[in-house]
Amino acid sequence: METEAEVIQRWRDLRTLLIEQLDMFETGALTLRSNGVNISQSAIADLRRSILEFDALIAKDDAETP
């Protein structure tokens, strides 16, 4: 089983990955296409929402940790 510090580090690493992907979508370095249609705007919105959800979970955990 992972220690609490390892779990926290995994959350931070995942958040960093999401932010890096969001940056790539916003700069055009990364795009998503389905049937030839660029769906990056949708991907950006999904990533932004996911990052906010992770931030809320981390903040909640930080508030509950003595």
DSSP 8-63: HHHHHHHHHHHHHHHHHHHHTSS--EETTEE-HHHHHHHHHHHHHHHHHHHHHHHH
Q: Is the pLDDT of residue 66 over 70?
A: no
How would residue 50 be classed by pLDDT, with cut points 50, 70 and 90?
confident
pLDDT at position 20: 92
pLDDT at position 29: 93
37-66 average pLDDT score: 83
Residue-wise pLDDT tens digits, 8-45:
888 889 889 988 988 998 898 988 888 988 888 888 88
Least Cα distance to 10 among 46, 48, 54, 50 occurs for 54
